[in-house]
Amino acid sequence: MNNIKRHPILLQSNKTALLVIDIQERLLKVMRKRELLIKDVVKLIKGIKVLGIPMYYTEQYPKGLGETAAEIKNELNGEAIQKLSFSCAGAGNLFNKLKEKNISQVIVCGIETHVCVQQTVLDLLANGFQVNVPANTVSSRTKIDYKTALRRMEEHGAEITTVEAVLFELLNVCTTQEFKDIAKIIK
């Protein structure tokens, strides 16, 4: 495949970061399909860790909404970036950190799809990032908010995808130890 072009939207591990948005106890309690959401976010995080891709996570007003849910936090590295704005554009200098690390592709997961996730995705797009949103790693309280937000993000340039699609794109080939490790996570 040396002289065969790959599509530029395909994720590349050396250009990618994961952003986990506001998966906090109080918010999580009222999300649709929260058990599936947790399961799929954990799969995504574990796969990202196998690949050595940088991860960031935010907490919206933790004093009122609590910390990141234990099932998710146990898998994450580093400290939460606390924010009061809905968009992560207001989470300190997060966007600048991504640019400094030559990150051009951001995988976004979290809650709620139609509020913090959508605003962050649109702001990332406005700042020149390619954004991938695995649909099985975001949620809202209502189905209409969830579906409308996915459609809106896609209309403005976000790639709507799934956990497995993201992980296999990042792997690129099936002959590595990382592939074997991720195959175990997905099953």
Q: What are phi and psi of 138, to 5 degrees?
A: -130, 155
Tokens of residue 38, six digits: 């947790």
Nearest to 81 by CA among 53, 59, 97, 106: 59
Active site residue 39: no
Of the listed 43, 83, 88, 123, which one is catalytic? 83
> Is residue 65 within 8 Å of residue 24, measured between CB atoms?
yes
Catalytic residue at 88?
no
Count, residues in the chain = 187
The reply to whether 22 belongs to the active site is yes
List 22, 40, 88, 109, catalytic entry: 22
Cβ-proximal residues to 165 (8 Å cutoff; 6+ apart), any chain: 134
Nearest partner of 17 among 76, 70, 82, 64, judged by Cα: 76
Among candidate residues 43, 88, 116, 123, the one labeled active-site is 116
DSSP class of residue 116 equals I
Point out the residues that are catalytic: 22, 83, 116
